[in-house]
Amino acid sequence: MLRVEAVNAFYGKSHILWDVTFGVGAGEVVGLLGRNGMGKTTLLKTIAGQVAARSGGIRFHERGITSLPAHRIARLGLAYVPQDRSVYADFTVGENLEIARPSGRDGRAALQGAFEIFPILKERVKQVAGTLSGGERQMLAIGRAIVKQPSLIMLDEPTEGLMPSAVEVAEDAIMSLRKRGVSILLVEQNMETALRVCDRIYILEKGSIVHEVGAVPEREKVVAGYLGLTTD
């Protein structure tokens, strides 16, 4: 579904991504882990068309998207939920979801998909988004991606700063989306969450993929070792 091949990206003269190669298959949840400042967010932005790849290629559904602008990539079915939980704070929950819905699609069906994953959004549909809790704002940010009916959603640290109950809701949402056939590329600092929901995990270090971890019994120790953590 998504294939990144030898991608290099820069911020000014700073070389951030170094020959990054990896893929996400249909219906997979793939994790992208690494310490702060290793290039994870830059990689998502490069895939989404917000940062230009200096070299290499990105293919989505067998179509080259490396040089496409962000809005055209989004229209192909690739949604990106950034780390800042961007919502329109002065608009209601319902208005936020409606704005995100592409024109020409069945609005009721698109919105229903978000409400099925996050029932609380339906309860809060007339509430101003700026009054939501952090966990609810995250649900709304993901919900805005869901109403676009994408085939792949990229999530940048969706559990950061959330209470344990909200983390559980986020994990359940990821698994529900997976059951619906939506692929997920997950950037996550919470190793436990990544190990619970991901089929495979890539470790990014200094802008390069240094390891791929599949569904192996010892993967917790492998991941923890690369992140400089300890396990019991």
pLDDT tens figures, 14-23: 999 999 999 9
pLDDT at site 232: 52
pLDDT one-digit tens code per residue, 123-173: 999 999 999 999 999 999 999 999 999 999 999 999 998 999 999 999 999
- 3 or 106: which leads in pLDDT: 3
- Asked if 183 and 25 count as a contact pair (C-beta separation under 8 A), the reply is yes
State which fold the 1-77+150-164+178-232 domain adopts: Rossmann fold (3.40.50)
Q: In what order do the strands lie in the sheet with 2-11?
A: 14-24, 2-11, 53-60, 63-64
C-alpha 163/C-alpha 6 separation (Å) is 37
Calculate ∠ Cα 108-151-69, nearest 5°. 100
Residue 8 has pLDDT above 60, yes or no: yes
Go through the chain and tell me how many residues it has.
232
C-alpha 222/C-alpha 191 separation (Å) is 11
- 50 or 211: which leads in pLDDT: 50
* Residue 63, Cβ density class (10 Å: 0-12 exposed, 13-18 middle, ≥19 buried): exposed
pLDDT one-digit tens code per residue, 194-230: 999 999 999 999 999 998 887 665 667 767 776 766 5
Structure tokens at 78: 């690739």
pLDDT at site 220: 73
% pLDDT > 90, the chain: 78
pLDDT at site 111: 86
Summary mean pLDDT of the chain:
91
% pLDDT > 70, the chain: 92
Q: Which of 200, 187, 198 is nearest to 154 (CA)?
A: 187
Residue 4 has pLDDT above 80, yes or no: yes
Q: Rounded mean pLDDT of 109-119?
A: 90
What pTM does this model have? Answer: 0.92
pLDDT at site 136: 95
pLDDT at site 39: 95
Domain ranges of the chain: 1-77+150-164+178-232, 86-149
Residue 83 has pLDDT above 80, yes or no: yes
- Which amino acid is it at 135? G
Q: Which of 147, 172, 177, 148 is nearest to 162 (CA)?
A: 172
pLDDT at site 231: 52
